[in-house]
Structure 1
Amino acid sequence: MWTICRKELADHFNSTRFLLLFCLVFMVALISTYMAVENIHKVLEGHTRPSHVFLLMFTTPGRFFSLVEFVAFFGPLLGIIMGFDAINRERHLRTLGKLLSQPIYRDAVINGKFLAGVITVTIVLLSLLLLLCGMGLIALGVVPGGEEIARLGVYLIISMAYLAFWLGLAILFSILFRSLATSALASVALWIFFSFFMGFVANLAADAIRPVYNRQDIVQVMANERLAHALSLISPATLYAEATTAILDPFQRSTSRLLVVTPLEGLSLERFQGPLPLDQSMFLVWPHVVLLIALTLVCFGISYVTFMRQEIRTV
């Protein structure tokens, strides 16, 4: 497995398409972070710098989007490009049968390919995060504290699980479809649906199942909103966006889009306006992280079982 993993790593880092995508991700991330830093300077000019200002660099939108939003929407393309031809490319080149005719277990092939993709994604995310942190140290002149570094570490782990899901999905389509174009189009189609249209579908389904006849009725509005939010969690993009936003924003106290606060609860909340500690933020996003990891494991498990049961001919 490790031999196949090293070979796949060499293929990834030597491929032109990976290098082009890698440079594109870095360029857009640097531009968006630079714009975010400029916005932070303008907002904080003449004011005392608040706590956790270093994390604002990752959550403050630049001209169009923040770094977290950029990774949520366009990060899956990195996993898709590395996995959409993992198996059917071997079939097309007639090397899969020759590979398995050697004393190599079949599961070592798919395990090595998936592991190589995860390692590549981790290297890209880690190098991108370190580069942006160095840029923030120079531009903001603020040294991050221990909790901020820990939050960035948790963000890195969640991002790895998120991109690993799309990598596993692309590998699954490369097993199911023999055509390279079909597997790529299927992966991109699901990415577009989950990233851009799942929210509309969830709202339409909630309006059909829990319609709101009176906008002044809090019970109807809350039932509709909760159902729409629950349906939107089917999308890995929604899980990732809510989890990373709560981790990188210590002042966020809920992942829900709508909260009903009574007057007494409002008075109680005014007493606790400080940032949440990391363990409390983890309690907020723990269901999201578990569900995201579960989706990744299920997707790779289906790929594993499907590949193990397929017929592979040597010639």
Structure 2
Amino acid sequence: MTIDLSRVAIIARKEFADHLTDRTFLLVLALFGILTVLSLEATLTSYASMMRSYEFLLERALERAAHADPSPLFPLPTPPPPLAGLIFQRIGDTFGIFGPLIAIAVGFNLIAGEREEDTLKVLLSRPVYRDEVITGKTLGGVAVLAFASAAVFALALGGVLVAGLTVTPHDAVIVVRCWGATLLFLLAYFGVAVAFSAFSEDSGRALAWTMAVFILFSTVVPVVAVDVARTVAGPAPPWPGADAPPDEVQRYQEEMHVHAATYGGVQNMMLALSPEGNFGVMRGALAGEDLAASLGGVWQNLIGLLAFPAIFLAVAYVRFMRIDLR
């Protein structure tokens, strides 16, 4: 049996159009737009304050350096981070909190809603195969999430331009990186919602089970990750004191480095089980200057973010192919 891509495209377009005309979805998207504007305004205000502080400290540092001995290097203040990375990291914070809700809203009634309204039997009575139906509906949902997240990022980018700020090609690359990570994050909970939608006979149960999984991974797993990391790393080495010999201070610094590396490694490994944990680590990496170097330390988080929707969507596919609609 071969999938007819034209039929898949028709189903995907219908699913996409149904969501874009749904008042609940449009309301959630409008709320995201409002949150984006508020976040953008707060970020621009904060960045302007950081720039004024940096310019003030830099001016004072240069004045002091001009009257001091020019032989040693005079310490200069650290400049603020790139504005684009800061803005879209804040947008990522908004998606990290509210993004799963829009993903769940798109996916929880994808199949259960059709069964609840007895429209799935009518759909499958047409000359269309089950794998074409689930593939088309899934692609339609993915397209909706891609459109919604891209619209929010485009709104933020437009706000930056309206504010009179210059967007460099590197800034545009950062935007695309952050949008890609955000879409993967949304797809994680979309996959969960579709899987429970396939196993549930009504949309209410699908929503309840999906929200339970969302609470588990968004709140329980991060808390457990901290507890496990603290247990494995053990207590931090005690500070030897300000008057300690240099060798003791050096030993303390080495022990602290090992402790911090152990704690961070265990916590990051545990957070790889959570879409929120993976998304949080990825946001910080993708906002950096060197993508290859940034991803080198978070490859397991990228794999986790890719595997999460893949596993749940595969489960949804298998379940849908075996649903008894009699």
When the two structures are superposed, what TM-score results if normalisation uses the length of structure 2?
0.79
Task: Write the letter of the residue equivalent to 1:304.
Answer: Y
2:47 is aligned to 40
**Percentage of identical aligned residues:** 27
Task: Write the letter of the residue equivalent to 1:80.
Answer: I
- Structure 1 residue 93: Cα displacement: 1.0
Partner-residue secondary structure (3-state), 2:128: coil
Largest Rg, 1 or 2: 2
When the two structures are superposed, what TM-score results if normalisation uses the length of structure 1?
0.82
- Structure 1 residue 308: Cα displacement: 0.9
2:30 is aligned to 23
**Change over 3 Å in CA distance of 1:34–1:301 after alignment to 2:** same
1:212 aligns with 2:234: yes
Which of the numbers 94, 99, 114 marks the counterpart of 1:75? 99
Whole-Å separation in 2 of the counterparts to 1:222 and 1:5: 46
Task: Write the letter of the residue equivalent to 1:33.
Answer: L
Whole-Å separation in 2 of the counterparts to 1:132 and 1:155: 12
Pairing of 1:31-110 with structure 2 (within 5 A): 31-45=38-52, 47=54, 52-59=82-89, 66-110=90-134
Whether the 8 Å CA contact 2:272–2:300 is kept in 1: the answer is no
1:151 aligns with 2:171: no
1:115 aligns with 2:139: yes
Partner-residue secondary structure (3-state), 2:201: coil
Whether the 8 Å CA contact 2:115–2:202 is kept in 1: the answer is no
Which 5+ residue runs of structure 2 have no aligned equivalent?
1-7, 56-78, 239-254
Partner-residue secondary structure (3-state), 2:325: coil
1:161 is aligned to 184
Whole-Å separation in 2 of the counterparts to 1:9 and 1:281: 35
Q: Once structures 1 and 2 are overlaid, which stretch shifts more, 102-111 or 197-206?
A: 197-206
2:72 is aligned to none
Whole-Å separation in 1 of the counterparts to 2:259 and 2:49: 42
Whether the 8 Å CA contact 1:151–1:278 is kept in 2: the answer is no
Task: Write the letter of the residue equivalent to 1:135.
Answer: G
1:265 is aligned to none
1:261 is aligned to none
Whether the 8 Å CA contact 2:107–2:141 is kept in 1: the answer is yes
Whether the 8 Å CA contact 1:8–1:116 is kept in 2: the answer is yes
Whether the 8 Å CA contact 1:54–1:142 is kept in 2: the answer is no
**Change over 3 Å in CA distance of 1:112–1:192 after alignment to 2:** same
Whole-Å separation in 2 of the counterparts to 1:99 and 1:138: 47
Matched residues, number: 279
- Structure 1 residue 180: Cα displacement: 1.7
Which 5+ residue runs of structure 1 have no aligned equivalent?
60-65, 251-275
Whether the 8 Å CA contact 1:155–1:247 is kept in 2: the answer is yes
Whole-Å separation in 2 of the counterparts to 1:84 and 1:42: 43
**Change over 3 Å in CA distance of 1:112–1:52 after alignment to 2:** same
Whether the 8 Å CA contact 1:239–1:292 is kept in 2: the answer is yes
Task: Write the letter of the residue equivalent to 1:132.
Answer: A
Whole-Å separation in 2 of the counterparts to 1:12 and 1:71: 19
Which of the numbers 180, 202, 206 marks the counterpart of 2:225? 202
